[in-house]
Amino acid sequence: MKKRNIFFLVLIVALMMILTACGSPEKQKIVEITSSSPGFWNHYFVYPLSFLIKWVANIPFIGYGMSIVIVTILVRFAMLPLMVKQMKSSKAMQALQPELNKLKEKYSSKDQATQMKMQQEQMALFKENGVNPLSGCLPLFIQMPILIAFYQAISRTSEIAQHNFLWFDLGNPDPFYILPIVAAITTFLQQKITMIGQDNSSPMAQQMAMMTYIMPIMILMFAINFPAALSLYWVVGNIFMIVQTYFVKAPEIKAANAKKAGGKK
């Protein structure tokens, strides 16, 4: 495995550790989130989301299970413009990948002068095509704090653990492992649909292909041991992402299907 792939994997693992608060709820004390919880993060991120979950849950005939579903969808809709921008930026970078590969071949020498020349030509290529190589990262950096805060709002709202939804208790792991399995499957489908239309030979596509199989396994392992409320959050968020990605990438999906159909003839 190349060093960059190892680094990419370490980042993903670190993110998952943050999301899961570095351990199972049984092994650590979960600090209840309230309006008086100290700190900028608690006051402006975690508590508002916890308050929203409780407010929606108190609507007649809703309850905490449906509240998590509804608030997850609301949060995803709020972040939709950022997600679309990220996908478009990724698509633009993908279109330039052949030209970037040519520059890497042209400036294959690793000396500093050659690498600086390659970077200059890369920046000129980006400018010529109106592509900002950092624009795809900004939406991700904005999204992740919101998703982490939402995750913590669920785990730090004690009322959630006292209710059940469908066949499971929100505060305990799914006894039949249905939610963890669905969470893993939807994570896999989300990764696969995201990769449609990408150049499989590019380093980014290779990293994505690797995570297509690693992420579902990680999600499954965490979901088996964590409260079902968190698994529900993962499942709903994944389904939303699958639908969103499908509509955003509809032309690419149709082209890929047409290519497969043509190859079978």
pLDDT attached to residue 255: 64
pLDDT attached to residue 206: 63
DSSP helix/strand/coil, 169: strand
Tell me, what amino acid is at 58?
N
Tell me, what amino acid is at 88?
K
The three state secondary structure string of 144-155 is: HHHHHHHHHHHH
CA atoms within 13 A on the CB side of 105: 6
Closest CA to 220 of 16, 57, 64, 65: 16
Question: At which residue do the structure tokens 């290529």 appear?
Answer: 125
Closest CA to 133 of 93, 83, 87, 81: 93
Residues of the chain with pLDDT under 50: 1-8, 17-18, 20-28
Report pLDDT digits (tens) over 163-208: 888 888 888 888 899 999 999 999 888 888 777 766 555 555 566 6
Tell me, what amino acid is at 252?
E
Report pLDDT digits (tens) over 153-164: 887 888 887 888
- d(CA 171, CA 250) in angstroms, rounded, equals 38
- Do residues 83 and 246 lie in contact, with contact meaning Cβ atoms separated by under 8 Å? no
pLDDT attached to residue 1: 40
Give pTM, 2 decimals: 0.71
pLDDT attached to residue 98: 77
pLDDT attached to residue 159: 84
Buried/exposed code over 62-91 (b: 16+ C-beta within 10 A; e: otherwise): ebbbbbbbbbbeebbeebeebbeebbebbe
Tell me, what amino acid is at 47?
Y
